[in-house]
Amino acid sequence: MTLASTQVRTAPSSDHVTIAYIGGGSRQWAPNLIQDLAQSELDGEVRLYDAHPESAERNARFGNWVQEQDGAVAEWSYEATDTLETTLTGADVVIISTQYDPAETFVHDLDVPKEYGIYGAVAATIGPGGILRAMRTIPQYREFAAAIAEHCPDAWVFNYTNPVHFVTRALYDEYPGINAIGLCHEVLGTRHRLARYAREELDMDAERSDVSVNVKGINHFTWVDEARCQGVDLWPVLEELRDSEHGHRRFTPEEIEGESVFVDNWQVTWELFRRFGVLPAAGDRHLIEYATWFMQGGREELNRWGVKRTGSDYRAKHWTPAESDQTTDVEAWLEGEKEFELTESNETFVDILRALVGEGTYTTNVNLPNVGQVDGLQEDAVVETNALIRAGEVKPIAAGGFPRPVESLIRGHVDTIETVIEASRTGDVDAAFEGFLIDQQVRTLGTEDAREMFAELIVAEEGYLEGWDLEGSAVLEESEAFA
């Protein structure tokens, strides 16, 4: 195992860890974290900060309530805070997970590109919707990075906010000395799937932790060229499945209609594996937005590959706990309207934290600036590989490079990301449009249609684009939408 350059900080004390949670009113991440911490055998305090104070207060009540439940073996206290300074001062760890109201943002990210024939499945991390999400998020994360530099410069920072590669890159661009890690569970899902194949095809007693992969790429467009389960090489099994009927399924819109938007039939994965010889390690609904062939032809073509599009109606409902299947039942648990049982989320944060405080070592996939762990991609671009984590250290593991066609695809997306990051330093909308224009989804359009789509998205989300010089943009001035 070859290690790239190391990030080193003083290890937090295992006796008492202070966590600052920006976005602490989260309806899914925070309640899951609270339950994981309760079972962690680590102790400490969590400060919850949110633009909606009542949401942070609710999660603080929930966190302190969970401490009294059966199965809570750790000692944690929770407090809602009202300023970044109060939240961050002296923190050992910072967690960031934020989102704007989808009904006012995400809905447009999906609906406007659709009118131009861009039929994305998620529209959250790349493509026109992903870029707009980055544009409205990056300025705020520059503020977070500056506040971290002032109040807890040595803290370990965990970013869960999409688009992970844009946002984590912005944190480092604003504060180069930050110790930030971008986290995502897509690779974990791939390892879970590979464990299933080990059980079904090799009759092994296997779970996700038994599977190791050599992973590399950028978030939501990661690739694997080695996979083992308990030391057994899984590559022959994967090649056999790829070439079998299992890897050549076709779906109709009728078959997909009743499925969850998160359905993953792996048919895009198998097709890319056939064409390039390396296995993608993200869900198909994300892969199609980076490997854009599968988006051509609209909904029917997506459905043919077993992918279902996330509709704007679903995104709007996701903001409303009563209508969402992705939010937790905090109020119902607190009021006794629903029985509570302490569960684990299967996320890796607590495992990483244990290793950072010196309780063993842990290896998992993380997003960090490229310091040599991935060949062929720009230095400092945020890439995703495994890393070895131990007391006060995160060491990204050198993963090598890619076949030329795959490297070409990834480098194109890195160029889009880096162009938008550079534009965000001064809020230059026209420079951001250059990144928008070279995006691999947008390149299916003429430049004038791309300009109009960009302008329509800007107009629809103008109130969330603080930090961008909209009035000084020649591109917007040329457009009919911005007139």
Cα 290 from Cα 293, distance rounded (Å): 9
- Which amino acid is it at 8? V
Tokens of 395: 């060491």
Give the number of other Cβ atoms within 10 Å of residue 282's Cβ.
27
**How many degrees, rounded to 5, is the angle at CA 378 between CA 9 and CA 272?**
110
The CA distances from residue 133 to 33, 100, 231, 283, 342, in Å, are 24, 9, 41, 20, 34
Q: How long, in residues, is the chain?
A: 483
Q: Has 165 been annotated as catalytic?
A: no
Coil, helix or strand at residue 337? coil
Backbone angles phi, psi at 358, to 5 degrees: 105, 10
Category of 117 on φ-ψ map: left (φ > 0), alpha (ψ -120 to 50) or beta: left
What sections of 393-462 are H helices per DSSP? 404-424, 429-437, 447-460
Task: Look at residues 10, 354, 347 and name the one whose alpha carbon lies nearest to residue 156.
Answer: 10
- Measured in whole angstroms, the distance separating CA 276 from the mean position of its chain's CA atoms is 25
Cα 411 from Cα 440, distance rounded (Å): 11
CA atoms within 13 A on the CB side of 437: 14
Tokens of 154: 């040595």
Give the number of other Cβ atoms within 10 Å of residue 254's Cβ.
8
Coil, helix or strand at residue 122? coil
Residues linked to residue 388 through DSSP beta bridges, in sequence order = 363, 395
DSSP label at residue 22: E
- Measured in whole angstroms, the distance separating CA 173 from the mean position of its chain's CA atoms is 18
- Measured in whole angstroms, the distance separating CA 313 from the mean position of its chain's CA atoms is 21
What sections of 100-185 are H helices per DSSP? 106-115, 127-151, 164-174
Tokens of 121: 């499945």
Residue pair 453/128 in contact by the 8 Å Cβ criterion: yes
Cα 257 from Cα 100, distance rounded (Å): 28
Q: Which helix H or strand E contains 386, and what residues bound it?
A: strand 382-390
Catalytic residue among 151, 185, 220, 246: 185
Catalytically active residues are: 185
